[in-house]
Amino acid sequence: MEKRKLIILGSVIVIGLLLIGGVTVFEGSNISGPEMVNNKAGSNKNDLEKKIENFKKDNFQPELYSTLLMEINSSKDQGLIESSSAIYLTEELNNVYKNHVFNKADYFLNQGNGDKNTVLTYLSSLEKATGKDAKIDFYKTQIPKYDYYVNSFPGKVTSFTNGNPASFSTEKYNSLKREAENMPGLDNQYKSKGKFTSIKSSAVSKLNSYKNKFEEYDRERRLNSIDVEFE
């Protein structure tokens, strides 16, 4: 009889423990479920992705990059997005930013439109944001060279060739002619364009014309010198 009571009592205890455990699990699931849903519902990852996509399509606004980057970091700090999502979104944003800046640089180098200093500022800002990049370095060297051969070099040639033949310098002539023919520092993809072949042709023509004037002047000077000797 005693043994039977003990068996019944043990069964009751086991059943009670199972019921308590079941209630605890049920309550726990009721707590964690809404919290998980609320966390997902509060995420703004999709909104950030849409903003980055719009940044890609819109006209380039450099200040928008900084705004979006701050928003991504702020969202991560507030727990609205995971760190992995923040890294992904930042990489996407940087790629869009790069494409915008590189397009500006390409447009300047191929069309000659735009302000040199503005484009160089874009490149420097991009480098500061994303780090060293061979393509950034390429554009940062080519844009000043492009600007020099288009806007400064022809003036140097004109200034030299407009001088008095008596002040002709063979050394200066050779230096400018080499520069016109080779355009050192400017990439072949640009110097082969019609704009630069025209600059080269014009510069060489002016230099040779000036040299011819000097040679004519020098011949006359020599002849006059001989005439004086025979007088």
Q: Which domain holds residue 89?
A: 35-131
Q: For residue 90, which of 41, 57, 55 has the smallest C-alpha distance?
A: 55
Are residues 102 and 177 part of one domain? no
Q: Amino acid identity, residue 121?
A: T
Are residues 91 and 170 part of one domain? no
| Residue where one domain finishes, among candidates 97, 131, 165 | 131
Distances (CA, A) of 180 to 55, 65, 174, 203: 42, 41, 10, 6
Distance between CA atoms of 83 and 103, rounded to whole angstroms? 30
Q: Amino acid identity, residue 158?
A: T
Query: Does the residue 15 lie in any domain?
Result: no
In order along its 231 residues, the chain shows pLDDT tens digits of: 454 444 444 454 444 544 444 434 334 444 333 333 333 457 899 999 999 999 999 889 899 999 999 999 999 999 999 999 999 999 999 999 999 999 999 999 998 878 999 999 999 999 999 999 999 999 999 999 999 999 999 999 999 999 999 999 999 999 999 999 999 999 999 999 999 999 999 999 999 999 999 999 999 988 876 655 545
Are residues 209 and 159 part of one domain? yes
Query: Does the residue 55 lie in any domain?
Result: yes
Query: Does the residue 16 lie in any domain?
Result: no
Distance between CA atoms of 158 and 207, rounded to whole angstroms? 9
Q: Amino acid identity, residue 55?
A: F
| Residue where one domain finishes, among candidates 131, 164, 191 | 131
Distance between CA atoms of 152 and 148, rounded to whole angstroms? 5
Query: Does the residue 48 lie in any domain?
Result: yes
Query: Does the residue 10 lie in any domain?
Result: no
Are residues 154 and 121 part of one domain? no
Query: Does the residue 2 lie in any domain?
Result: no
Q: Is 129 exposed, middle or buried (0-12, 13-18, 19+ CB in 10 A)?
A: middle
Question: CB neighbours (10 Å) of residue 75?
Answer: 20
Are residues 181 and 122 part of one domain? no
Q: For residue 174, which of 160, 192, 188 has the smallest C-alpha distance?
A: 160
Are residues 152 and 67 part of one domain? no
Query: Does the residue 209 lie in any domain?
Result: yes
The pLDDT of residue 208 is 98
**Contact (CB, 8 A) for 119 and 143:** yes
Cα torsion through 196, 202, 203, 207, rounded to 10: 160
Query: Does the residue 143 lie in any domain?
Result: no
| Residue where one domain finishes, among candidates 131, 165, 198 | 131
Q: For residue 25, which of 13, 15, 17 has the smallest C-alpha distance?
A: 17
The pLDDT of residue 114 is 83
The pLDDT of residue 32 is 37
Quote the tokens at residue 159: 């200034």
Count of domains forming the chain:
2
Distance between CA atoms of 152 and 172, rounded to whole angstroms? 16
Are residues 163 and 101 part of one domain? no
